A and B are shown apart, each in its own frame.
Chain A
Amino acid sequence: MLRIRGGKVFDPANGINGEIRDICIDGDRIVADVNGGKDIDATGMIVFPGGVDVHTHVAGGAINFARAMTPEDHRRTQAFMRSQSRRSGLGGMAPTTFATGYLYAGMGFTTVNEAAVPVLSARHTHEELNDVPIVDKSCLVLMANNEIMMNLMEAGDFERAKHVVAWYLNAAKAYGIKAVNPGGVAAWKWGKDAKELSSPIAGFNSLTPGDIIQQLSRIVDELKLPHPLHLHCNNLGAPGNISTTLETMKHLEGNRVHMAHLQYHAYGGDGWDTMCSESAQLAEYFNAHPHMTCDAGAVLFGDTVTITADGPWQHLLYKLTGRKWGNLDVENETGCGIVPYTYKPSNLVNAVQWAVGLELLLLINDPWRVFLTTDHPNGACFWRYPEIIQLLMSAEFRNECMAKLPAKIKSRITLPEINREYTLYEIATIISAGPARALGHRQKGNLGVGKDADVVIYNEDHDIARMFGHPRYVIKAGEIVIDDGDIRETPQGREFMVQPAFDPATEEFLQPLFEDCYTMSFENYPVELERIENPEVQECGKVSSDLEQS
């Protein structure tokens, strides 16, 4: 039993905005009151629900490839020493699994969502997630470039496609569906890309990226998955891609959707030298369409490694940087490219990207619909979130940073005209309550009675980045895991998944197709539930109306 006494509580899920009150914990849940037990004096401190990362890449074949590609970064980065109770690890651009848990917990995040898992290597992702301590986890499975699915969608066999998706979710032990550059990754196997929403995809007669996203978002809604379709749009990172992004959003009217790393999809101009921000236009459309949520995918200057299923984009980036490049093709399902990259303030394109991420966070007016991410590790590493919080909370600091950018930037961005400063209440919304609701995690991002006891306590500090980077206490499932910078406990978190029902005939349909085009036998494909530590199956259909609550 634990009582957090006298802290200033920010709990947007329950409308609590900076009230001084006690938070009581019994076991792994928040309760109304406790008698006895431990007491934390949080007088003068700030209490948040544990952070939730809606979109990150921390486990699986791609990030693991990135680890192998960047030994020079591991050598210069923060090292975690082994001790009697803890494993060693390395931080940096692509942290090792144990370090990932320590670093997330170390800045008060207690739930993370791994956003891109091919079914074929889901077993690998789960093995890695088992080695990420402290935080609760979930993962999204890639569907938009799966050849079996694409054939079904081209044939217009919607019902069967829906059952196949349900089967895949069960097989991968995943929590939701992710679509990456629909059709584009499949086209990359022909060395091509899919940039137009209404043009047929290479290797198909009539199927277009637009068909894929419409059908997948309908499938997700009909299966009543807790998290809407998680969409990485076509034409990522390219100048002028705002038209593709708006087109995509129009295709999805009437369906729920989560738009991932929107920063990479909000550019105007028609080439690298004319690239500019179109975040105002994007935010205007977004603000008027409440069925959507998004995350920022903000960029910070510095070294990172970019990892995305968007293979064609990564090959372009490799040609632009002339540095290292890794490419993975995952049979019929997807692929992935990996390129180390340095965002430089002196580079006009990078400077625009930096501004666009912040602009979106500032121009989208409902904090329940825009979440803090960097698309780790693509825009920046997740452990740099506190720097973004500082940029959001202080217009003065933003202006200081902007002064260091090339003068030419002024005409290309709208950031200098924005004076908005986030409040602590809004920060608590975009890093915890909002992403928890978008993910359909009713137990998370919420300090109400009966919810999971994931709590962060910060020392109030005028240095915002320091405050959010070094919480005084982090409590995960009722246990104090971080105490003044020390990792005290490293409990094993839970892993969330959904298991929607499907027609038993689906397997009979899939098996012959599978044996035709996969190199693995059908029986070996699904991940057994026993292989996952602390699995927790969330029911479908229970949380579909959550968005309307906001």
Chain B
Amino acid sequence: MYWGGNPAECHPRHFTKYALMPKSKFLPRGRKDRTMVLVDIRETKSVNASDIFLQVRPGKDFELITILRALLKEQHVGDAQIAETGLTRDVLVDLLERMKVAKFGAIFFGMGLSMTRGKHMNSAALLTLAAELNAFTKFVAMPMRGHGNVTGADVIMRWQTGYPFGISFNRGYSRYNPGEFSTVDVLVRGDTDCAFIIGADPGATMPQPAIDHLRRIPTIVLDPHVTHTSRLAKVHITTAPAGIAAPGTAYRMDEIPLPLRPAIDSPYPSDEQVIRRIRALIDQKPDWMSKSPQRVLSQV
């Protein structure tokens, strides 16, 4: 089941390599042994690959998932309420029946769900639905992440700091609060006096106040290309593209690590090399931190 995503165009290998086509011991006929449901607000190219397409009214995903949760628990939901999502009771009853009798269900959700009104709560709704379906059969849910090594950043931040994103080190240890410490909020409020950007282009995607702030403060960009952000930055350092000319590890959306082996040489240093050199230079500067031994304290 894909919800709020268009894998046919955005994750082209997902059907063929992971979720729909592969043949296996228990699904010997591959695609024919699977049922694919697509939920989205509009018809995309992924519709062609689906067995069932459910067109939900824009901004009604959270309501629809919540209705499904209620119906799963055999609670009463009015027809008029269901109709507001753009779907009918018959369709939802049929969908739930298919979900309950499936041998193994998987829900993949995209940014059409997680980046629209309701944001993290839309994702939470789908994850909760998947968890609750385990009372009937095996069900899992997983986000379809954006391009680049987003998952890798999450995974490493988690083992080093305990939190996946939205982290502040101001007080000498990691603190977490998305909305307070996440990049876009920090920039929009103007809470930072320097920005160091690696392999991302906020200048192309973030709201205008954030872009204005990046222009005001010293912004340093590490990127293989000159990006929108480079143009408003004080410093741009060209680096070798990871996975093409620089080695490393990338984490797939399911948090499986894959080694990156460079195919070509680059005259530019890798991100890692640049950061190590900056770090070495910073180490030579007088320290602003106290040199007292490690202190253990109660958190703020």
Contact = CB atoms under 8 A, between A and B. Distances in A.
- Asked whether the complex places CB atoms of A and B closer than 8 A, the reply is yes
Interface of A: 59, 61, 64, 67-68, 71, 74-84, 86-90, 92, 94-98, 102, 120-121, 123-124, 127-128, 131, 147, 188-191, 203, 315, 318-319, 325, 327-329, 486-488, 516-517, 519-520, 524, 528, 531
Given A79-B299, A84-B287, A520-B256, A71 B294 contact: no
Interface stretch (B58-66, B83-91, B130-138, B209-217): B130-138
A80 B293 CA distance: 11
20 contacts: A61-B255, A64-B159, A68-B164, A71-B162, A75-B176, A77-B299, A81-B295, A83-B289, A86-B294, A87-B160, A89-B160, A121-B257, A123-B249, A123-B259, A203-B25, A318-B131, A516-B23, A517-B24, A519-B22, A520-B258
B159 A128 contact: yes
A407 B174 CA distance: 44
Given A84-B287, A87-B160, A190 B155 contact: no
B289 A131 contact: no
B297 interface: yes
Contacts of B160: 87, 89, 96-98, 131
**Chain A binding surface SS class:** mixed
A84 B291 contact: yes
Interface string B141-166: 00000000000001110111111100
Contact of B25 (A68, A83, A147, A319): A147
Contact of A82 (B25, B137, B163, B172): B172
Contacts of A97: 159-160
Contacts of A74: 162-163, 174, 176
Contacts of B249: 123, 127
Contacts of B251: 124
A82 B296 contact: no
Contacts of B25: 147, 203, 517
Closest 8 CB pairs of A and B: A81-B172, A79-B173, A88-B173, A486-B293, A123-B257, A191-B138, A74-B162, A90-B162
B159 A131 contact: yes
B176 A189 contact: no
Given A74-B162, A79-B173, A325-B131, A84 B289 contact: yes
Contacts of A328: 255
Nearest to B166: A71
B173 A120 contact: no
B256 A82 contact: no
A83 B173 contact: no
A25 to B, nearest CB: 23
A517 B23 CA distance: 8
A59 B158 CA distance: 11
A487 B294 contact: yes
B244 to A, nearest CB: 16
Contact of A191 (B18, B137, B156, B169): B137
Of the four ranges (under 10, 10 to 19, 20 to 34, 35 or more), the interface on chain B belongs to 35 or more
A121 B256 contact: yes
Interface in B95-148: 103-104, 131, 134-135, 137-138, 140
A531 B174 CA distance: 27
B296 A78 contact: yes
A518 B293 CA distance: 48
Contact of A90 (B26, B174, B257): B174
Nearest to A331: B256
A120 B252 CA distance: 12
**Chain B binding surface SS class:** loop
A71 B138 contact: no
A90 B161 contact: yes
Interface string B270-295: 00000000000000000101111111
Determine which residue in A59, A71, A92 has the highest number of CB atoms from chain B within 10 A of its CB, and name it. Answer: A71
Nearest to B163: A71
A64 B158 CA distance: 6
A330 to B, nearest CB: 8
Nearest to B22: A519
B6 to A, nearest CB: 21
A135 to B, nearest CB: 15
Contacts of A203: 25-26
Given A68-B158, A487-B293, A120 B256 contact: yes
A76 B299 contact: yes
A96 B158 CA distance: 7
B223 to A, nearest CB: 24
Nearest to B13: A519
Contacts of B104: 189-191
Determine which residue in A76, A89, A90 has the highest number of CB atoms from chain B within 10 A of its CB, and name it. Answer: A90
A259 B90 CA distance: 53
B17 A519 contact: yes
Interface string B7-36: 000000000011000111110000000000
A361 to B, nearest CB: 29
B270 to A, nearest CB: 16
Given A67-B158, A89-B160, A96-B160, 9 more contacts: A78-B296, A81-B297, A97-B159, A124-B155, A131-B160, A319-B135, A328-B255, A486-B293, A517-B25
Nearest to A327: B140
A102 B298 CA distance: 17
Nearest to A99: B162
A327 B131 CA distance: 9
A74 B168 CA distance: 14
Contacts of B18: 519
A79 B255 contact: no
B171 to A, nearest CB: 8
Contact of B173 (A67, A76, A82): A82
Contacts of B138: 188-191
Nearest to A488: B293
Contacts of A82: 169, 172-173, 289
B155 A81 contact: no
A168 B212 CA distance: 53
